[in-house]
């Protein structure tokens, strides 16, 4: 009975870890990264909005980053068609950090500075963007996807 419990505990532990581990990969070797936004928070001088639809603020729910071209864009199924330029790429042993400046939805008057930090062990990511009087924090998941553009899919690993 004790052996059965230990075995069941190990199997359960592996089953809960595998979905997160499936997203981890070799971010250093991949030129393309696919990501998804799991939660978006808006912060303005009047209040904090805990659950914002990314499409309404010009952020695609799923996106592809091309490190060679230094661009970030929505996947083909995304409602957002804008392309953001990646101005700076920084790699540490545990994190990939992308930074840029982009015009907001209202045009040239609203400029946002943004920062995307990706944990290369887990694929968990945090995007922060700040402009004049407003900020956004997006939590998501990223994964290397060298075949994303060639296949026409989002490159997500099979669950």
Q: How many domains does the chain have?
A: 1
- 15 within a domain of the structure (yes/no): no
Q: Is the pLDDT of residue 19 over 90?
A: no
How do residues 81-100 score in pLDDT, each as one tens digit?
A: 788 899 999 999 999 999 99
- 10 within a domain of the structure (yes/no): no
- 116 within a domain of the structure (yes/no): yes
**Prediction pTM value:** 0.73
> Distance between CA atoms of 121 and 139, rounded to whole angstroms?
16
- 70 within a domain of the structure (yes/no): yes
Q: What is the CATH number of the domain that holds 54?
A: 2.40.160
- 95 within a domain of the structure (yes/no): yes
Please state whether 107 falls in left (phi above 0), alpha (psi between -120 and 50) or beta.
left
What whole-number percentage of the chain has pLDDT above 90? 48
Buried-exposed string 100-137: b where 16+ CB fall within 10 A, e elsewhere = bebebeeeeeeebebebbbbbeebbbebbbebeeeebb
Give the per-residue pLDDT at 143.
Answer: 93
Range of the domain at 141: 24-151
- 14 within a domain of the structure (yes/no): no
């Amino acid at each position: 009975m004790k052996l059965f419990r230990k075995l069941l505990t190990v199997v359960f532990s592996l089953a809960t870890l595998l979905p997160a581990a499936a997203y981890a990969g070799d971010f250093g070797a991949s030129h393309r990264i696919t990501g998804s936004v799991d939660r978006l928070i808006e912060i303005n001088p009047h209040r904090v909005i805990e659950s914002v639809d990314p499409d309404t603020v010009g952020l695609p729910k799923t996106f592809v980053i091309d490190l060679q071209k230094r661009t970030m864009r929505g996947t083909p199924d995304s409602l957002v068609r804008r392309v953001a330029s990646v101005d700076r790429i920084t790699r540490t042993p545990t994190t990939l950090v992308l930074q840029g400046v982009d015009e907001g939805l209202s045009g040239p008057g609203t400029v946002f500075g943004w920062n995307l930090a990706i944990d290369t062990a887990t694929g968990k990511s945090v995007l922060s963007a700040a402009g004049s009087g407003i900020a956004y924090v997006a939590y998501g998941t990223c994964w290397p996807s060298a075949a994303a553009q060639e296949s026409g899919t989002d490159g997500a690993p099979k669950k």
